[in-house]
């Protein structure tokens, strides 16, 4: 029976990848994630590596977009931010 003071590399790698996916799903940029991972764990991930790992979310995102909505929904709540836009007049428009 061997004692382990540090998790195996695969386990450590899985934790980092899970963290990357969670951060990405919250809207954190790949560059910010790479910086955070390096500061927190000392592991260097480039923004490109973070992007490749976060692509694991794409099938889940596509499935979410293609899911069938229940007939029980009767309203949709939308949120927007208003940005100043110059058209014929200077107005703010919801985005």
Number of structural domains the chain divides into: 1
Domain with 63, as residue range(s), is 9-67
CA distances from residue 89 to 29, 47, 64, 73, 81 in whole angstroms, order as listed? 34, 41, 39, 38, 19
User: What digits encode the pLDDT tens for the residues 2-48?
Assistant: 554 444 545 556 777 888 888 888 888 888 988 888 888 777 778 88
Question: Rounded CA gap, 36 and 81, in Å?
Answer: 28
In this prediction, residue 95 carries a pLDDT of: 77
Q: Is residue 1 part of a domain?
A: no
Helix (H) or strand (E) holding 24: helix 9-25
H and E: helices and strands count for the chain: 4, 2
Q: Is residue 28 part of a domain?
A: yes
Q: Is residue 94 part of a domain?
A: no
Q: Is residue 91 part of a domain?
A: no
Q: Is residue 51 part of a domain?
A: yes
Q: Is residue 61 part of a domain?
A: yes
């Amino acid at each position: 029976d061997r004692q382990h003071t540090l998790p195996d590399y695969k386990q450590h790698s899985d934790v980092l990848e899970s963290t990357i996916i969670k951060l990405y799903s919250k809207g954190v940029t790949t560059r910010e994630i790479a910086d955070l991972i390096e500061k927190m764990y000392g592991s260097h991930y480039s923004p490109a590596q973070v992007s490749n790992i976060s692509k694991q979310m794409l099938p889940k995102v596509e499935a979410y977009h293609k899911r069938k909505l229940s007939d029980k929904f009767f309203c949709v709540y939308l949120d927007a931010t208003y940005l100043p836009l110059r058209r014929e007049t200077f107005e703010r428009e919801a985005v």
